[in-house]
C-alpha cells in the first residue's frame, strides 16, 4: 500500500485497534520499528488514519498510505490526508526504546539527543525539501489533488519510562517550537501517542458504544 487509498474511518474499530496498541506497549519496554511498529499500523488502518487528527485541519482522514513513496528519493512510514481540506500528515516511526530519545555523553550532565530521534527528524527535513522541489508540478498535483497542499510532519520515537522531568520538558519544548519551511514538525513518544489518541477518541459518541470484552 505504497500509494494513497481512500479510507472510510470507523471510530468504533479505531477504539478496538487502540486497545491492541496499548496492549503492545504494555507487553514490553522496547519495540522495534521494522519488526513490530510498521506491521501493526499496516494492519490497523483505522488507528493509522486517526493519527491524522494531530493536525486540526484533518477533520476527515480519508486517505492513507503505508511506506509512502516521495517522488522516488524518499519514503515516509505513514501518510494520512484529508482530501477536502487538502491537508496531509507524514509520519516517521523510529524504535520505541528508552535510549531512542536521549543518550549520555561522557561526563556531561545534560544528555544529548539520540541518533534515532535525529535520524527521524532528518528524514522529515528531506521529505519537505523534495516536496518543495516538486510542488506545482503535474506529478505533485496527481498525487495530492492540487498544486499546493498543507503538509505537516510527525516523528514518533522512544518510550517515557526512564525520562527525567527535565528531559520531558526539553522534548515538549522541541515539539512546540519546531517549524521547518512554515511546516510544523512534532516529535512525540509512543506513550504520548497512545494517551493523545485515547483522549481524542473519547470525544466521539461512537466510542462509548464499543464492546471491549
Query: pLDDT per residue over 122-148, tens digit each?
Result: 999 999 999 999 998 999 999 999 999
Cβ burial, residue 191 (10 Å; 0-12/13-18/19+): middle
First to last CA, the chain: 31
pLDDT tens digits, residue range 23-49? 999 999 999 999 999 999 999 999 999
SS3 154: strand
Instruction: Give me the residue spans of the domains in the chain.
Output: 5-203
In this prediction, residues 71-86 reach a mean pLDDT of 95
pLDDT value of position 83 = 94
pLDDT value of position 211 = 67
Strand (E) or helix (H) holding 82 = strand 74-82
In this prediction, residues 198-213 reach a mean pLDDT of 80
In this prediction, residues 90-103 reach a mean pLDDT of 93
As given in the structure block, the three cell numbers for residue 183 are 511546516
- Find, among 70, 112, 63, the residue nearest to 92 by Cα: 70
As given in the structure block, the three cell numbers for residue 194 are 497512545
Would you tell me how many other CB atoms lie within 10 Å of the CB of residue 95? 24
pTM score of the predicted model: 0.92
User: Which of 14-28, 53-67, 118-132, 196-210 bottoms out in mean pLDDT, i.e. has the lowest?
Assistant: 196-210
User: How would residue 209 be classed by pLDDT, with cut points 50, 70 and 90?
Assistant: confident
Amino acid at each position: 500500500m505504497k500509494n494513497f487509498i481512500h479510507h472510510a474511518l470507523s471510530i468504533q474499530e479505531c477504539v478496538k485497534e487502540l486497545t491492541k496498541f496499548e496492549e503492545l506497549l504494555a507487553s514490553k519496554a522496547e519495540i522495534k520499528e521494522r519488526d513490530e511498529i510498521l506491521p501493526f499500523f499496516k494492519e490497523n488502518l483505522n488507528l493509522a488514519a486517526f493519527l491524522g487528527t494531530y493536525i486540526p485541519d484533518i477533520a476527515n482522514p480519508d486517505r492513507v498510505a503505508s511506506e509512502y513513496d516521495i517522488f522516488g528519493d524518499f519514503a515516509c512510514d505513514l501518510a494520512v490526508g484529508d482530501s477536502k481540506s487538502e491537508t496531509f500528515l507524514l509520519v516517521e516511526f523510529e524504535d520505541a526504546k528508552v535510549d531512542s530519545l536521549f543518550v549520555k555523553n561522557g561526563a556531561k550532565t545534560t544528555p544529548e539527543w539520540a541518533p534515532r530521534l535525529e535520524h527521524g527528524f532528518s528524514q522529515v527535513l528531506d521529505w519537505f525539501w523534495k516536496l518543495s522541489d516538486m510542488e506545482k508540478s503535474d506529478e505533485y498535483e496527481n498525487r495530492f489533488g492540487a498544486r499546493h497542499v498543507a503538509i505537516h510532519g510527525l516523528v514518533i520515537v522512544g518510550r517515557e519510562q526512564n525520562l527525567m522531568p527535565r528531559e520531558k520538558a526539553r522534548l515538549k519544548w522541541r515539539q512546540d517550537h519546531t517549524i521547518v519551511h512554515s511546516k510544523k514538525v512534532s516529535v512525540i513518544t509512543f506513550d504520548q501517542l497512545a494517551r493523545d489518541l485515547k483522549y481524542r477518541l473519547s470525544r466521539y459518541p461512537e466510542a462509548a458504544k464499543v464492546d471491549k470484552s
